[in-house]
Amino acid sequence: MPFVHELLKYRSVAVVGMEKNCGKTECLNYILRRLPSDGPGVCVTSIGLDGERTDQVTGTAKPEIILRSGMFFATSETHYRSRRLVSEIVDVSGETTALGRLITAKVVLEGKVILSGPSSTLSLKRWMDSISGFGIGLTVIDGALSRKSSASPAVSEAMVLATGAALSCSMPALVDRTAFCVEMIRLPEVEEQKIPEEQTLTVSSMAQEVELAPEVRRIEVSGALTDRLLTRLLTERRLPEIEVTVADFTRIFISPDSWRRFVRAGGRLRVHRRTALLAVCVNPLAPNGYRLDSDLLCRTLSDKIQLPVYDIRRQCEDEA
């Protein structure tokens, strides 16, 4: 698939799932299998926990993470001990988590591993900086929208989004929810020099009142943008004259209805850092066994978001 080769244009990419059982791990494995072996060094980690054989919540079987020889990976001490591959340690982090220190290692013989990496955006960024001298050209980060910080542009330059019937068994609802997420990811970046600092008002997500002086032309939201704050901004008569900004799409926690009202009122929302969305992958099979029509889902979603959409599971079956 073309998007795999697109990854090589970036130093870091996050594979992000909209919901559990949307095929994120299958997408991650697909990428790791198809990255060229003669390309830049590849390192993979997770901001949560991935690669276990059985889902700890549902008890269902999960795909395990398979790493090829020559790849690097980072995981906690606890899960490094349970690895089923041969590897050599190249770095031990000084930061300690509930699962021990973070171990970075290079795979000697292919096998399987459970990934439990840095637990926050800040620690993830520090770890990425610490491994820059190991010849790693691409870092792949496993994440989920419940842990959206893993996909923050402050950490990863690009992302692949995984969605599917686990999010909704209704195809229209699934398409609409995914398209809204894509719309937030694609919000335009702030033109930093366009509005002077003295014309910017900074507010928090918990702000009860927002008093706008006549000269204010930008509202900078520190923290999260929520429905509550968006509704408050809708009362401003000068809304069409003002630009609302957030750090990046991971700070946006608003509903599609609030967003549409905001746009209809002339509101404008921009981000300081925008991530490159390379592709969307779908899993048409829901955990309860219900299956959506893969061709129709891919085609309908692709038409809606104007981006390639792939059924990774079917692709793997076709290649087998």
Q: Which residues, including other chains, have CB under 8 Å from residue 219's CB and lie 6 or more apart? A: 200, 201, 202, 203, 210, 212, 233, 242, 243, 244, 245
pLDDT value at position 210? 82
Domain boundaries, the chain: 2-186+275-319, 197-271
Strand 100-113 and strand 84-97: the pairing is antiparallel
Burial category of 36 from C-beta neighbours within 10 Å (exposed 0-12, middle 13-18, buried 19 and up)? exposed
Query: What amino acid occupies position 69?
Result: S
Let me know if domain 2-186+275-319 sits in CATH 3.40.50. Answer: yes
Q: Please check the confidence at residue 147 and state whether its pLDDT lies above 60.
A: no
- pLDDT band at residue 250, thresholds of 50, 70 and 90? confident
Q: What is the average pLDDT value for the chain, to the nearest integer?
A: 88
pLDDT beyond 60 at 151: no
Contacts of 9 (CB under 8 A, 6+ apart): 158
User: Each residue of 60-85: pLDDT tens digit?
Assistant: 677 889 999 999 999 999 999 999 99
Say if strands 41-46 and 158-164 run parallel, antiparallel, or are unpaired. unpaired
Q: What is the pTM of this model?
A: 0.89
Taking CA atoms, 110 is separated from 44, 72, 91, 164, 239, in Å, by 14, 11, 19, 30, 56
Residues 138, 43: contact at Cβ < 8 Å?
A: yes
Name the DSSP class of 251: G
